[in-house]
Amino acid sequence: MTDLTKLSAVDLAGLVATGETSAVEVTQAHLDRIGAVDERVHAFLHVDTEGALAAARAVDERRAAGEELGPLAGVPVAVKDVLTTKGVPTTVGSKILEGWRPPYDSTIVERLRAAGTVMLGKTNMDEFAMGSSTEYSAYGPTRNPWDTDRIPGGSGGGSAAALAAYEAPLSIGSDTGGSIRQPGAVTGTVGAKPTYGGTSRYGLVAFSSSLDTPGPCARNVLDAALLHQVIGGHDPRDSTSIPAPVPDVVGAARLGASGDLTGVKLGVVTEFTGEGAEPGVMAAFRESVEALAKLGAEIVEISCPHFRYALPAYYLIAPSECSSNLARFDGVRFGLRVGDDGNRSLEEVMSLTREAGFGPEVKRRIMIGTYALSSGYYDAYYGQAQKVRTLITRDFTTAFEQVDALISPTTPFVAFPIGARTSDPYQMYLADLFTIPTNLYGGPAISVPCGLSDGLPVGLQIMAPTMADDRMYRVAAALESSVGTFTPPAL
C-alpha cells in the first residue's frame, strides 16, 4: 500500500479528486505520522486532530456531492504559529500568548480553508519569529529530521521540519530576514518568500512590519507554487497588500520543470561566494551553477557592493520595528498578566508581565530597537540603516538591469548542532547573512535544495525582481529537474 505521507501535494490532491483516496484517509495518515515521530522532531506546538478530520470530511462530502474541488483540496498543511487561527491556540512560540485562542482567522488561513486544504496544526518557531534555529521557542527546540542533534533552521524550523519528517506535505512560514528560506535550506526542502505585499499580513503577528512576508513551504517546487497561488493576492484588510494578481507561479514552475533555461540570464552575487560560506556549501553551490548552465542559463558574476551592510542594517531596522510592534503585549487585551495583586500600578504589572512573558532574544531586540530609535542615536543608527536600505535596493535594481535573477547559497553553513550558537547572539544572526538583502529590498526569493555537504542539505537561493515571483519558480523548478529532491535518512 502507498505511504500517503511520502506523496507530493499534487499527487495527493489528484488521488482525492478522483476518489482513489479520501481526504480523511490522507489526513489520518499524516496525523498517525505526527503521532509516531513528533515526539522526536517537535515540529508541532499544537495538533488540531478534530479540526483537521472535520475539514477533511467536508472535502469528501463536497466531492461526493459532485462539487468541483480546488487544486489542493484535501491536502494537509501545517501552519506556523505566527498566524492567527480562529479558536485554535496561537502562541508565536512565546509564553506571553500561552493559551490564547484568537477570535479570528488570518487571511492566509482563511484562504487555506476556502481552498479545501486541511490544517493539521500549528508549527514551532523561534519566539516572535526572532531567531535562526527554533531554539528560541519558549516551548523547546525543533529538531532537524536529517540529524536530530542539529537545528532545523529558524524561525520557521517547525514548518520545515514537518515537511522533512513527512508529517505534512505543505506548510506555511513567514520570512522577515530568512525565516522561510534558511529552514528550507538546512532541511532539504523548498521555501519561498513572496514579494513583500504579495501575501497578506492580516492576522500575522507582527515582528517587523516593513519586512514580514508569509509564504509557502513544500518538498518540491511545484507544490510550493500551488500553495503560493492559493495564499497570495490582494487583501483589502492589509494596506500594504499589492493590488495586482499573483504572478503565474504555477505556470512558471511547470515551464521550469521541462529543464530548459535557454535565454535566462543569472547573476552569481560575488559578495556571497567568497569566504562567507563554508567549503561544503560552496562546493554544492558551484556544482549547481554548472547544472544551471547546462540547462541553458547564461551565468555571469554580479557585484552588489552594499549587500555586506545588509546584516547590520537589518539588525537595526527589524529590532526598531519590533520594539514598537511588541508594545501591544502589555497584559491588557490578551495573553499573560503577571503581578496584578490590586496594589501594583499598571506600569509595574506591565513590566512584570513582559519580563515573565518574553524570552531573552525578544528582550534583546526590544532593547536594541529602543536604543536605535532614541533621540541622540536615531540618526546614526535607525536613520543610517534606512539609507543603507536605499543603497541595497539600488544594488538590486541595477543588477536586474543586467540579469533576470540573482543566485547565491541560501545560508553560509549547513545545519549546526543544537546549542552551538545560543551563547553568542551575533553568531546566530550570521545564519541570515545571504537572505536578509531580499527582505530589505522587498523582492521575492526562493531556496531550493541543491546538494549535500557531509550528508546535510545545502540550499540555493534565487532572488528575483519585485512581482517577478514566477521567474524564481521557473529557475528553481529547472534546477530541481536536474539535481532532484533529497530524502533524509529514516527517523
Cell numbers linked to 129 = 519569529
Cell numbers linked to 318 = 527589524
DSSP one-letter code for 175: E
Q: List, in sequence order, the alpha helices (H) in 232-379.
A: 249-257, 279-294, 310-325, 346-357, 360-373
Q: How far is the CB of 246 from another protein (least distance, A)?
A: 15
Identify the active-site residue in 80, 106, 137, 241: 80
Cell numbers linked to 210 = 516593513
Cβ atoms of 117 and 161 within 8 Å: the answer is no
Identify the active-site residue in 94, 106, 132, 155: 155
**393 near another protein (CB under 8 A):** yes
Q: Which positions from 98 through 117 interact with another protein, judged by CB under 8 A? A: 100-104
**323 near another protein (CB under 8 A):** yes
**96 near another protein (CB under 8 A):** no
**389 near another protein (CB under 8 A):** yes
Q: Which positions from 46 through 75 interact with another protein, judged by CB under 8 A? A: none
Give the residue, chosen from 11, 36, 363, 481, that forms a contact with another protein under the rule CB under 8 A: 363
276 vs 196: CA distance, rounded Å = 26
**313 near another protein (CB under 8 A):** yes
By C-beta, is 252 or 313 nearer to another protein?
313
By C-beta, is 136 or 285 nearer to another protein?
136
By C-beta, is 280 or 383 nearer to another protein?
383
How many alpha carbons lie under 13 Å from residue 409 in its C-beta half-sphere? 30
Cβ atoms of 9 and 226 within 8 Å: the answer is yes
Q: How far is the CB of 74 from another protein (least distance, A)?
A: 28
**487 near another protein (CB under 8 A):** no
Residue 59 identity (one-letter amino acid): V
**334 near another protein (CB under 8 A):** yes
167 vs 49: CA distance, rounded Å = 13
**155 near another protein (CB under 8 A):** no
142 vs 206: CA distance, rounded Å = 22
**359 near another protein (CB under 8 A):** no
Give the residue, chosen from 46, 111, 201, 306, that forms a contact with another protein under the rule CB under 8 A: 306
**374 near another protein (CB under 8 A):** yes
Nearest to 459 by CA among 167, 268, 177, 183: 183
Give the residue, chosen from 196, 285, 413, 416, that forms a contact with another protein under the rule CB under 8 A: 196
Nearest to 165 by CA among 39, 308, 26, 330: 39
Of the ranges 149-157, 218-226, 256-264, 438-446, which one interacts with another protein (CB under 8 A)? 438-446
Identify the active-site residue in 179, 320, 408, 453: 179
Residue 376 identity (one-letter amino acid): G
Cα angle: 318, vertex 136, 368; to 5 degrees: 35
By C-beta, is 390 or 402 nearer to another protein?
390
Catalytic residue flag (residue 80): yes
By C-beta, is 88 or 460 nearer to another protein?
88
Burial class, 374, CB count within 10 angstroms (exposed 0-12 / middle 13-18 / buried 19+) = exposed
**272 near another protein (CB under 8 A):** no
**424 near another protein (CB under 8 A):** yes
145 vs 312: CA distance, rounded Å = 31
By C-beta, is 28 or 384 nearer to another protein?
384
Residue 72 identity (one-letter amino acid): L
**419 near another protein (CB under 8 A):** no
Give the residue, chosen from 315, 400, 473, 486, that forms a contact with another protein under the rule CB under 8 A: 315
Cβ atoms of 491 and 37 within 8 Å: the answer is yes
**304 near another protein (CB under 8 A):** no
Handedness of CA 360, 144, 445, 269 (dihedral sign): positive
Of the ranges 56-64, 96-104, 137-145, 291-299, which one interacts with another protein (CB under 8 A)? 96-104
Size of the site for another protein (CB under 8 A): 71
Cell numbers linked to 25 = 484517509
Instruction: List, in sequence order, every residue forming a beta bridge with 119; answer none if it has no partner.
Output: 77
Q: List, in sequence order, the alpha helices (H) in 6-88.
A: 9-18, 23-41, 49-64
**378 near another protein (CB under 8 A):** no
By C-beta, is 324 or 481 nearer to another protein?
324
**428 near another protein (CB under 8 A):** no
Cβ atoms of 49 and 32 within 8 Å: the answer is no
How many alpha carbons lie under 13 Å from residue 458 in its C-beta half-sphere? 24
Give the residue, chosen from 274, 332, 455, 484, that forms a contact with another protein under the rule CB under 8 A: 332
How many alpha carbons lie under 13 Å from residue 219 in its C-beta half-sphere? 23
Give the residue, chosen from 28, 49, 148, 370, that forms a contact with another protein under the rule CB under 8 A: 370
Give the residue, chosen from 41, 388, 436, 478, that forms a contact with another protein under the rule CB under 8 A: 388
Q: How far is the CB of 122 from another protein (least distance, A)?
A: 16
Interhelix angle 221-231/9-18, nearest 10 degrees: 70
Catalytic residue flag (residue 179): yes
Length, in residues, of the chain: 491
Catalytic residue flag (residue 8): no
Catalytic annotation, residues: 80, 155, 179
